[in-house]
Structure 1
Amino acid sequence: MTGDTSIVAVLSGDLIGSSEAPPKETSIAINRILATTAKIETWDGNGPTYFTRMRGDGWQIVISNPTYALRAALKVFANQISAKESGYLQTRIAIGLGTMNGFDGADLSSASGSAFEASGRTLDAMTRSDRFAIAGSGVSPLHQAVVELTEEQIGRWTPEQAEAAAYYLSPSDPTLKDIAGELGISTQAVHSRIRGAGAQALRNVVEHWEDTPC
């Protein structure tokens, strides 16, 4: 998905089941998303990436390079699913593509623009069972269909599959051997997790997504 450099991607989300979870678990889950944001910022071709916690269990991320929108959403979701410590809370993610106006400091609460409007409205319209949605500048029914199919696939992930997929879907295209070294398991075990997660197909999807004009 290529496009105007003035367009950004805004990911808005909230944690699922946080009202029944201790406040500590909500904070752990939010901090995990913050850590994922820092990793996304290091991706080649990406610019500054901003994160803000919103409305208690809500959060927003601005990704300067909008081509990474779907890949970043997958990274955030996978890292939440794979959490083994306390604070295992899944999240919904609404992707908004559009413009961003200036804001004060790193706090996105003062930010505005069509990307924020699209992302916020889309999150508000999502049901409790929804995980991914997209709206905004250049988004077509085909993009929405891809997101729906992606959502269907990730809904089947186990924590172990999500953990492997989080590495596998990085833009550096790590090998199974690379991932095995990171996770301390065999390449055969990594292959089994990647296959179970459908991560090879998802890698192809995000690569084509990033090459397609939006």
Structure 2
Amino acid sequence: MSMPAHTVAVLTGDLIGSTASGETATDEAMASLHKTTVEIAKWRGVSPPLRFFDRYRGDGWQILLTHPAYALRATLVLAATLASTAELPRTRIGIGIGPADIPDNKDFAASTGAAFIASGHALDTLPRARVFAIEGEHVTSLHRAILALAEELSGRWTPEQAEATALYLSPRQPTLAAIAERLGISTQAVSYRIRGAGARALRDAATWWEQDAEDRAP
């Protein structure tokens, strides 16, 4: 038996340069990603089964979002999580949108469906110079364009900018003052980091992406 297929987002990733980074940094990167998925699971509209496939192919990982509209936001937050620590390897991410068949026991390894296939294919065919890709149901050239621009901005983050951006991109839309308190720095310093990261534009892009997904939903 399996749960009925419904549209989800599957994010499949692998760490960049994990061999050169070493086993300790790779383990820390995986732990950091896992911790972030726990926070993503608390976002409004996300419910089980969200899973973190903690390891495959040595440095690979995978999560499933039951609320596929969050695909862009989750991708950026996961990327920011790793970029916030200079010693950790960054990650490539293939996003797949579509139906998924999940066994009743929620065994991720036994799950199937178009979202998993699209996500794996997006990652496997990603050009060497790129880090984000998307394929699947209702994916358009505009989605790919937004993702390409998001990739360009995220590739320029300093660790400090990435740390602030990971918090700023929460769908709860925390204030700069709240982020400043969390990081133990001034509100002005947070503002500089957010501006330098292009995080305001990224948050707007994620919000409009989600609105488009909601508009398309049956």
Q: TM-score, normalised by structure 1?
A: 0.93
Q: Confirm whether residue 9 of structure 1 aligns to residue 25 of structure 2.
A: no
**For 1:152 and 1:184, how far apart are their aligned partners in 2?**
28
Select which of 53, 56, 60 maps to 1:54.
56
In structure 2, give the amino acid aligned to 1:154.
Answer: S
Bigger mean CA offset, 128-137 vs 186-195 = 128-137
**For 1:206 and 1:15, how far apart are their aligned partners in 2?**
23
Tell me by how many angstroms 1:106 deviates. Answer: 4.6
In structure 1, give the amino acid aligned to 2:202.
Answer: L
Q: Secondary structure at the match of 1:35?
A: helix
- CA distances 1:13-48 after superposition (whole Å, capped 9, x unpaired): 000001223222211111111111100000011112
Bigger mean CA offset, 99-108 vs 154-163 = 99-108
Does the 8 Å contact 1:16/1:128 carry over to 2?
A: no
In structure 2, give the amino acid aligned to 1:115.
Answer: A
Does the 8 Å contact 2:102/2:108 carry over to 1?
A: no
**For 1:106 and 1:32, how far apart are their aligned partners in 2?**
23
Instruction: Provide the residue aligned with 1:93 in structure 2.
Output: 93
Q: Secondary structure at the match of 2:135?
A: strand
In structure 1, give the amino acid aligned to 2:19.
Answer: S
Q: CA RMSD in A?
A: 1.4
**For 2:165 and 2:7, how far apart are their aligned partners in 1?**
27
- CA distances 1:175-199 after superposition (whole Å, capped 9, x unpaired): 0000000000000000000000011
In structure 2, give the amino acid aligned to 1:51.
Answer: F
Instruction: Provide the residue aligned with 1:68 in structure 2.
Output: 70
**For 1:104 and 1:159, how far apart are their aligned partners in 2?**
40
Q: Can you give the 5+ residue segments of structure 2 that lack an aligned partner in the other structure? A: none
Instruction: Provide the residue aligned with 1:118 in structure 2.
Output: 118
**For 1:83 and 1:63, how far apart are their aligned partners in 2?**
25
Instruction: Provide the residue aligned with 1:149 in structure 2.
Output: 149
Aligned length: 208
Q: Secondary structure at the match of 1:44?
A: coil
Q: Can you give the 5+ residue segments of structure 1 that lack an aligned partner in the other structure? A: none
Tell me by how many angstroms 1:126 deviates. Answer: 1.1
Q: Confirm whether residue 167 of structure 1 aligns to residue 204 of structure 2.
A: no
- Aligned-residue sequence identity (percent) comes to 50
In structure 2, give the amino acid aligned to 1:17.
Answer: G
Q: Confirm whether residue 29 of structure 1 aligns to residue 29 of structure 2.
A: yes
Q: Secondary structure at the match of 1:102?
A: strand
Tell me by how many angstroms 1:107 deviates. Answer: 4.1
**For 2:64 and 2:187, how far apart are their aligned partners in 1?**
34
Q: TM-score, normalised by structure 2?
A: 0.92
**For 1:37 and 1:103, how far apart are their aligned partners in 2?**
21
